[in-house]
Amino acid sequence: MPTYVALLNWTDQGLRNYKDTAKRAETFDAALQKLGVKLLNIYWTLGPYDVVAIVEAPDDETVTAALLQRGGVGNVRSTTLRAFGREEMERVIAKTAG
């Protein structure tokens, strides 16, 4: 399954409720699972993003739907990156030889 890196920033609402962030992570995981997305890991970070989530999803549409749904709750805004593992990148590079 493709891997995605979700870069999350708290909204004003999310920041006001920072004490609930660990519990919200559990809710986030459960909501993702319902849509077929697997939360591999989640990190609270310093710097330009408040949280980084590593997820696997069957396709771009599914991960987009999952993150839109979570963003609609109002606690976070997200930027999502498609991540390629070593083997995936080797396949991509092999296609350039064509």
pLDDT 10s digits, 42-68: 999 999 999 999 999 999 999 999 999
- Report domain extents, the chain: 3-96
Q: Residue 25's closest CA among 79, 76, 60? A: 76
Quote the Cα angle for 77-8-47, to 5°: 125
pLDDT 10s digits, 16-26: 999 999 999 99
At 59 the pLDDT is 97
How many residues in the chain? 98
Mean predicted confidence (pLDDT) in 33-41: 97
Q: Residue 63's closest CA among 86, 83, 92, 48? A: 83
User: What kind of fold does domain 3-96 have according to CATH?
Assistant: Alpha-Beta Plaits (3.30.70)
At 24 the pLDDT is 95
